Amino acid sequence: MAAPSTFAPRLTAADLDGTVPDLLAAPAIRWGVLGAGNIAGSFSDGVRERTASDVVAVGSRSLDKAADFAAAHAPGARVHGSYEALVTDPDVDVVYVATPHSHHLEHTLLAIRAGKHVLVEKPITRSVAESETLLAAAREAGVFCMEAMWTRFLPHVAALRAAIARGEIGQVRTVVAEFDLAVPYDPAHRLFAPELAGGALLDLGIYPIAFAHDLLGAPETITVRGTRAETGVDDHVALVLDWSDGQQAVLHTSSRAAGPNAATIIGTQGHIEIPRSFFTPTTMTITRADGTTSTFESPTGEGKAYEAAEVARLVTAGATASDRHTWADTVEVMAILDEARRQLGVVYPGE
Ligand SMILES: NC(=O)c1ccc[n+]([C@@H]2O[C@H](COP(=O)([O-])OP(=O)(O)OC[C@H]3O[C@@H](n4cnc5c(N)ncnc54)[C@H](OP(=O)(O)O)[C@@H]3O)[C@@H](O)[C@H]2O)c1
């Protein structure tokens, strides 16, 4: 008979070595938001509410829209009716590029060529080729550049990595993760429009893929099965990633199904479950082979503040890249996305 499960006392971040950074201790920098859309709103709220930094300027293709955005998410920010005006604003230290990924290369190059540091929403571009162009420009300009893979900076992910490093579940053998979101079909929607680099993979699938890559690195082989929407972009995709020593990731993404958006890391001596939504601030439960369990609960609040605070620290220190989400990480994840699209026959306009 299996030993009864023993629930260990709730562990603190310190117990799990999952350092919860003091967001307010990060230096203050001045953010400029490029593209007054949905995610730019929550990012700006996080910066203003949880860090010492401020959003000092907003750039939109429409001055009225920039003003509305500032009123809602960045009171007092200077408003610009073009992205060109935003990137030349002398009061902006770092530009946060929050346009659709089809336009990340063009809009990020604008900022880099104006000498600005950049944080670019995920995925950094549509493809490895575009990423390499973007990163080469950042290298040449000597500016800070990072893809906004905010999950990597969340407290429960730090706790997860610390627990794995301590051998709490033995050796990691399998990562199971999905991000399935039911989005009403609309050929003009960001998730379905080829001209906006639509598809579940680049928008949603990047989360489980980057998560598996964070724990296991670049895979040896990539096997993909899936379907495409009427517009030709992927909409329901299963991926199996294999590593040479037998480790596997079993991942799924969909714009047509409503999933739990959970992740499980299975090791030789236990497993770790991260419930909905594994890529946002949430809980993490370790179940060991002896039946004992421990749970870590993330602080609440806008999670994009963690990446924003990290960028503030790095830029102030004179760094040009993050060692937690490196340029190599960005390109390796992009390479998995490229290969998945190749296997499904998804090609974007101009490729
Ligand atoms: N980190 C996260 O949790 C998260 C979540 C969702 C999305 N994202 C990423 O963030 C990016 C933006 O997503 P979103 O949901 O914020 O999109 P959104 O609400 O549609 O906003 C995108 C903004 O980009 C600007 N834009 C410039 N050219 C455009 C074009 N041709 N078509 C449409 N908009 C254009 C628009 O701003 P102006 O009109 O003001 O110029 C628009 O408001 C995507 O790369 C996405 O993958 C990240």
Task: Indicate which residue's Cα is closest to atom 32 of ligand 1.
Answer: 100
**Whether the CB of 299 sits within 6 Å of ligand 1:** no
Per-residue pLDDT of the chain (351 residues; tens, 9 = 90+): 333 344 444 455 555 656 688 999 999 999 999 999 999 999 999 999 999 999 999 999 999 999 999 999 999 999 999 999 999 999 999 999 999 999 999 999 999 999 999 999 999 999 999 999 999 999 999 999 999 999 999 999 999 998 998 889 999 999 999 999 999 999 999 999 999 999 999 999 999 999 999 999 999 999 999 999 999 999 999 999 999 999 999 999 999 999 999 999 999 999 999 999 999 999 999 999 999 898 988 988 999 999 999 999 999 999 999 999 999 999 999 999 999 999 999 999 999
Final residue before a domain boundary, out of 150, 165, 183: 150
The rounded distance, in Å, linking the Cα atoms of 13 and 11 is 7
Same domain, 126 and 174: no
Same domain, 203 and 98: no
Same domain, 130 and 161: no
Q: What is the reported pTM?
A: 0.95
Predicted pLDDT of residue 166: 86
Same domain, 59 and 130: yes
Predicted pLDDT of residue 316: 98
**Whether the CB of 39 sits within 6 Å of ligand 1:** yes
Predicted pLDDT of residue 343: 98
The rounded distance, in Å, linking the Cα atoms of 225 and 234 is 10
Which residue from 33, 34, 38, 191 has its CB within 8 A of the most atoms of ligand 1, so it is best to mutate?
Answer: 38
Same domain, 235 and 177: yes
> Does 107 reside within a domain?
yes
> Does 296 reside within a domain?
yes
- State the residue range of the domain holding 187: 151-344
Task: Indicate which residue's Cα is closest to atom 37 of ligand 1.
Answer: 35
The vertex-43 CA angle with 38 and 46, nearest 5°, equals: 135
Q: Phi first, then psi: give them for residue 292, nearest 5 degrees.
A: -75, 150
Same domain, 194 and 298: yes
> Does 28 reside within a domain?
yes
Predicted pLDDT of residue 5: 40
Smallest Cα–Cα separation from 37: which of 187, 196, 147? Answer: 196
Alpha-carbon torsion (33, 37, 41, 43), positive or negative: negative
The domain total for the chain is 2
**Whether the CB of 148 sits within 6 Å of ligand 1:** yes
Q: Which residues of 158-168 are buried (b: 16+ CB within 10 A; e: fewer)?
A: bbbbbbbeeeb
Predicted pLDDT of residue 15: 57
**Whether the CB of 147 sits within 6 Å of ligand 1:** no
8 A C-beta contact, residue 231 and residue 198? yes
Q: Give the distance (Å) from ligand 1 centre to CA of residue 207.
A: 17
Q: Phi first, then psi: give them for residue 46, nearest 5 degrees.
A: -65, -45
Predicted pLDDT of residue 13: 52
Looking at residue 38, which CATH number applies to its domain?
3.40.50.720
Predicted pLDDT of residue 21: 86
